Structure 1
Amino acid sequence: MPDVVNAVSVVDRFFTAYNAHDPEAVLSCFAPQAASVGPPGQSDNRDQILSYHELIWTAFPDVTLTVWQTITEGDEVAATSMAAGTHTGPFTLPDGEVLQGTGRRATARVCWVFGVENGLIVSQQVFYDQLEVYAQLGLSCPAPVHRP
């Protein structure tokens, strides 16, 4: 039977840890076998998931997420949020190029979908408009990256 309270609780803890830029607290929200998919591709364990979040924290050291809404169905939690931060650090683009800090402020609407089992996140999907972020950073549309 799904435990809605624990599902929402761990997702709330994730967002709090993310906004604190606390790697250990973020890791504690994920099961060891957790997987994630988002704009940079797939992550197959919680260390890879954390690595992606740390890349964002490095590029946007003041980034925060403001959660607007969460919707829960069983052990699935969807959340919409606004990410906002200033690009002052290196940001790796999908083609591998590294964009040095521009000093520009960027915001993006983000949708998250989490799967939760036994009080830990086992799956994370992240959706946001990369072109919206690139435009705010002064970039043109990047060439598509083809993955096998």
Structure 2
Amino acid sequence: MGSAVGEWGRVILLFLWRLVMGEARQVMDRLTDAVTTHADLNVISELYAEDAVAFTPDEGELHGRDNIVEYWRTMTEALPEATFQPLHSYEVGDTAIDEGIFSGRNTGPLQLPNGETLPPTQKEIRIRGVDIATVKDGRIVDYRLYFDEMDFLGQLGLLPDEPF
């Protein structure tokens, strides 16, 4: 009987957590799941406002849902089984912030910002990053992604061996 009470306690805590968790946190968690666990571009599209703006280290500023979804398409194709290990998660008003480790194997083509497409390297990557999403009416209106692009490219073996 003690384990049933413990299980009900966990269910109640989860229910209460979801009541307390704000909209920004819920949307960010859905985005993380759609980018990693399920690689679902339809869900990603639903999560962004039509006029959303995103900033990424590799593509710079992206305007509009379609351009942002295209960015995520290239990432999910290049790293189709990526995972995200959260280290810190915050929510302040209408903004959710995550810091964590993004990992995966490059088994798909990687499209570079200059339009060049590289074949899969089959190399594992593990990079620390931060993403920030501001949410209005259930959709992301402003998104910021920060990671060390040189670390990412280096782990893929795409940087020269010698320094410049």
- TM-score, normalised relative to structure 1: 0.86
Question: Aligned pairs, how many?
Answer: 139
User: Partner residue of 1:35?
Assistant: 53
Cα deviation, residue 4, structure 1: 6.5
Specify the code of the residue in structure 2 equivalent to 1:68.
L
User: Partner residue of 1:123?
Assistant: 142
Query: Given the alignment of the two structures, is residue 17 of structure 1 paired with residue 34 of structure 2, yes or no?
Result: yes
Specify the code of the residue in structure 1 equivalent to 2:76.
W
Specify the code of the residue in structure 1 equivalent to 2:23.
N
Aligned ranges 1:61-100 → 2 under 5 Å: 61-100=80-119
User: Partner residue of 1:51?
Assistant: 70
State the alpha-carbon separation in 1 of the partners of residues 21 and 135 from structure 2. Answer: 9
The percent identity for this pair of structures is: 28
Give the unaligned 5+ runs of structure 2: 1-19
Specify the code of the residue in structure 1 equivalent to 2:34.
A
Specify the code of the residue in structure 2 equivalent to 1:34.
A
State the alpha-carbon separation in 2 of the partners of residues 73 and 59 from structure 1. Answer: 32
Aligned with residue 101 of structure 1, among 120, 124, 137: 120
State the alpha-carbon separation in 2 of the partners of residues 138 and 10 from structure 1. Answer: 34
Cα deviation, residue 130, structure 1: 0.8
In 2 relative to 1, CA 18–83 (structure 1 residues): closer, same or farther, beyond 3 Å?
A: same
Is the 8 Å Cα contact of residues 112 and 125 (structure 1) preserved in structure 2? yes
Is the 8 Å Cα contact of residues 79 and 107 (structure 2) preserved in structure 1? yes
Is the 8 Å Cα contact of residues 4 and 74 (structure 1) preserved in structure 2? no
- TM-score, normalised relative to structure 2: 0.78
Q: Name the structure with the higher helix share.
A: 2
RMSD between aligned residues: 1.7
State the alpha-carbon separation in 1 of the partners of residues 50 and 114 from structure 2. Answer: 29
User: Partner residue of 1:144?
Assistant: none
Question: What do the CA deviations read for 1:84-113 (whole angstroms, capped 9, x no partner)?
Answer: 111122112334332211111111111001
State the alpha-carbon separation in 2 of the partners of residues 78 and 4 from structure 1. Answer: 13
Larger Rg: 2
State the alpha-carbon separation in 2 of the partners of residues 107 and 28 from structure 1. Answer: 28
Is the 8 Å Cα contact of residues 22 and 91 (structure 2) preserved in structure 1? no
